[in-house]
Each structure stands twice: as structure tokens, then as C-alpha cells.
């Protein structure tokens, strides 16, 4: 997996991010004979590893495949554990050159046209760089007093720790709905606070009716058109259409979404749009940014539109990028 490093090596390609799309880029590079390296700040497919333990993907197994290796799955939709097993097998099969638990701090274009990639361990030199860092590392904070209390989490793993406690879930997307349902099923007293007037239309189609029915029957309390204004040790303040209220509370799951590390892109020289979506500049035919030789792949391409790109529709970025590198 991790090959001996020659400090004078100039890589054809360094890939930042060892998720499915970063791995797909490495497979394409390997098949074309490029000298490449993946740098991943955590475990293999680190974002998937940090997903809720019992999460089910929206995509079918076939649409999560990379490297033309079949993803066998008995259920209609694979879960997190099956996906981790699949991508570990991908690594076993291709023996990709990857350094795990090595965070990249910066990417800088040099006057000679190469890039210096500074990680927590050492500096690397590459002719081309792919940033495939996803979006799961930085929560979108709600910026209210008490958000930093220990009872508040912006990530959800499993329901057991919330069983038989009063849990408030902020948000109405897939992660919020999954957490609300699982916590309720394990005996938690669940309240949802939803900024809009309904559950998000992008919630998985087999989950959305379930949570709507639980809300309709009163099993899960939901405040629509509402916002949390403050979090306290034993309660939460909520602004509702009927006025301000305070509810007794043990835990808060502020699952209001995540965003890419846009500052990392800016420091690398990538132009970011000034609109609300903060979209990075890149050529959709090659995935090359405004910085020659610097490419984007996967979810990071969408800026704050994190629902735009998924594994299934961004796997093609790998071949597009490598073909462009080869053509030069």
C-alpha cells in the first residue's frame, strides 16, 4: 500500500483524498502508467467510515462501483458496512499507492510549473494535483449561544446513547431524518426543528413517508418554520410561528449539513464564485481548475451545492482527468 518514498521523486499526479472518487482517480492513473500518490488525512474512505453506523445508501451497489470491480450486495441498497468492505477489497485488488492518516496542509504552484504539496509529514512535488476531498469535514454551524456545549453534536453515529433521553434534531435532510427515526425507534423522546414547512424532498423515498407518518401521529414532535435560538444545559429555546418556546432537552443533534474546505481551495489558487453556492472554477470537460494542472473531482466541485455530485455521477471525473493529463 505505502511504498518507500524517494524525496527527489516528481510525481505525475498527487491525489488529495482517499475516498471512492480519489481511489477512482488513482485506478485510472495506475492503468495509464502514471506515477501517482494518494494522500488521505484519515482512514481509507474516511467520510464513509464516519457515516452513521447503519446508514443505507440512496444509490444501488452497481452505481457505487469503481475500477470495473462488481459490488455484490443482497439488499436492494447497500449499507455503510458493505461499502467499507467493498472499498477495502478495491484497495486489496489494485494495491493503490496511498498514505493514510497524512493530512495535506497546502498546495502551491511553483514558477517551474510543478506543485509543492505540503503534508503534516513532508513536502512532495507533482506535475499535476487532484483535489477530491469531499465535503463531510466541516459542519454548517447554526451560530447560536450554547452550540459548543458537550450535549450538542453535528455528527450522528448510532441511536443507543440517546435511548430514553430527550433528543432534539435540527434539520430535515437525510441525516436528520435517519437520526430522528432511529433515536425514536430506540426509545428516545424525539423533537425535530425544521426551518421550512416540510421534510426535504431529497430525503430517501422509502424514508420520507415513514418520518412524515411518525410526525402526523405525534410519535415525533416537529416544529416547522422554526429555528433554535439558544441551547442550554437542560433546555433549548425555539422560535416558532406561534412564538418563542423552551423545551426540556438532554441532547441536540444539529445535523444542518456540511461543506467543503473552500479556504483550502482558495489558498491553492482556485477561483470561487461570489454567489451563495461558492462554486469553484473548473472546466467541465476536463475538471481542470483555473490553475493549470490542478483538478477537482467529486463532491468538492459543487461548492455549497453538496447534493449536486455523488459517487455515482462523479466516478467519470477520474477518466476525464487522467485523459487530459495524458493528452498534455
Tell me the DSSP string of 182-243.
HHHHTT-EEEEE-SSSS--TTS-TTTHHHHHHHHHTTSSEEESS-EEEEE-SSEEEEEETTE
pTM of the model: 0.92
The SS3 call for residue 32 is coil
Considering the domain architecture, whether residues 273 and 207 belong to the same structural domain is answered as no
Q: Does a structural domain hold residue 212? A: yes
Instruction: Please tell me the distance from the alpha carbon of residue 71 to that of residue 46, in angstroms, as a whole number.
Output: 19
Instruction: Please tell me the distance from the alpha carbon of residue 242 to that of residue 105, in angstroms, as a whole number.
Output: 48
Residue-wise pLDDT for 208-217, tens only, equals: 999 999 999 9
Residue 75's Cβ-count burial label (10 Å; 0-12, 13-18, 19+) is exposed
Considering the domain architecture, whether residues 322 and 268 belong to the same structural domain is answered as yes
Q: Does a structural domain hold residue 2? A: no
Q: Does a structural domain hold residue 227? A: yes
Last residue of a domain, one of 199, 232, 254: 254
Q: Does a structural domain hold residue 163? A: yes
Considering the domain architecture, whether residues 154 and 197 belong to the same structural domain is answered as yes
Last residue of a domain, one of 254, 279, 313: 254
Q: Does a structural domain hold residue 1? A: no
Considering the domain architecture, whether residues 60 and 126 belong to the same structural domain is answered as yes
Considering the domain architecture, whether residues 100 and 34 belong to the same structural domain is answered as yes
What's the total number of domains in the chain? 2
Considering the domain architecture, whether residues 69 and 34 belong to the same structural domain is answered as yes
Q: Does a structural domain hold residue 189? A: yes
**CA angle at 17 for the pair 201 and 49, rounded to the nearest 5°:** 60
Q: Does a structural domain hold residue 4? A: no
Residue 68's Cβ-count burial label (10 Å; 0-12, 13-18, 19+) is exposed
| Model pLDDT, residue 317 | 97
Considering the domain architecture, whether residues 89 and 217 belong to the same structural domain is answered as no
Instruction: Please tell me the distance from the alpha carbon of residue 144 to that of residue 162, in angstroms, as a whole number.
Output: 22
Considering the domain architecture, whether residues 263 and 132 belong to the same structural domain is answered as yes
| Model pLDDT, residue 137 | 84
Considering the domain architecture, whether residues 121 and 157 belong to the same structural domain is answered as no
Q: For the sheet with 235-240, list strands across it.
A: 227-231, 235-240, 243-248
Q: Does a structural domain hold residue 236? A: yes
Last residue of a domain, one of 254, 287, 315: 254
Considering the domain architecture, whether residues 47 and 131 belong to the same structural domain is answered as yes
Domain that holds residue 155: 141-254
Q: How many CA atoms lie within 13 A of 183 on its CB side?
A: 28
Considering the domain architecture, whether residues 28 and 122 belong to the same structural domain is answered as yes
Considering the domain architecture, whether residues 95 and 224 belong to the same structural domain is answered as no
Domain with 248 in it: what CATH number?
A: 3.50.50.60
Instruction: Please tell me the distance from the alpha carbon of residue 256 to that of residue 141, in angstroms, as a whole number.
Output: 7
Give the residue ranges of the chain where pLDDT is below 50.
Answer: none
Amino acid at each position: 500500500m505505502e511504498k518507500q518514498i524517494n524525496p527527489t521523486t516528481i510525481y505525475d499526479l498527487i491525489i488529495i483524498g482517499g475516498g471512492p472518487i480519489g481511489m477512482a482517480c488513482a485506478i485510472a492513473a495506475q492503468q495509464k502508467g502514471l506515477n501517482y500518490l494518494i494522500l488521505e488525512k484519515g482512514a481509507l474512505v474516511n467520510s464513509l467510515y464516519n457515516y452513521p453506523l447503519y446508514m443505507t445508501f440512496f444509490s444501488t451497489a452497481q452505481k457505487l462501483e469503481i475500477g470495473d470491480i462488481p459490488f455484490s450486495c443482497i439488499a436492494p441498497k447497500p449499507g455503510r458496512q458493505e461499502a467499507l468492505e467493498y472499498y477495502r477489497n478495491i484497495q486489496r485488488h489494485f494495491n493503490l499507492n496511498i498514505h493514510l492518516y497524512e493530512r495535506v496542509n497546502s498546495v502551491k504552484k511553483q514558477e517551474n510549473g510543478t506543485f509543492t504539496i505540503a503534508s503534516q509529514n513532508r513536502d512532495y512535488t507533482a506535475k499535476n494535483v487532484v483535489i477530491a476531498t469531499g465535503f463531510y469535514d466541516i459542519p454548517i454551524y447554526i451560530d447560536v449561544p450554547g452550540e459548543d456545549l458537550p450535549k450538542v453534536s453535528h455528527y450522528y453515529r448510532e441511536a443507543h446513547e440517546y435511548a430514553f433521553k430527550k433528543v432534539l434534531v435540527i434539520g430535515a435532510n437525510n441525516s436528520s431524518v435517519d437520526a430522528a427515526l432511529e433515536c425514536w425507534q430506540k426509545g428516545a423522546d424525539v423533537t425535530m426543528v425544521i426551518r421550512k414547512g416540510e421534510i426535504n424532498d431529497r430525503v430517501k423515498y422509502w424514508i420520507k413517508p415513514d418520518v412524515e407518518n411518525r410526525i402526523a401521529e405525534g410519535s415525533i414532535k416537529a416544529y416547522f418554520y422554526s429555528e433554535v435560538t439558544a441551547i442550554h444545559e437542560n433546555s433549548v429555546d425555539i422560535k416558532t410561528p406561534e412564538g418563542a418556546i423552551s423545551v426540556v432537552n438532554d441532547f441536540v443533534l444539529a445535523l444542518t449539513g456540511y461543506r467543503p474546505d473552500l479556504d483550502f481551495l482558495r489558498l491553492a489558487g482556485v477561483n470561487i464564485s461570489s454567489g451563495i453556492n461558492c462554486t469553484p472554477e473548473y472546466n467541465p470537460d476536463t475538471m481542470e481548475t483555473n490553475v493549470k494542472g490542478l483538478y477537482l473531482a467529486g463532491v468538492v466541485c459543487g461548492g455549497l451545492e453538496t447534493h449536486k455530485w455523488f459517487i455515482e455521477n462523479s466516478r467519470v471525473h477520474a477518466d476525464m482527468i487522467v485523459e487530459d493529463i495524458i493528452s498534455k
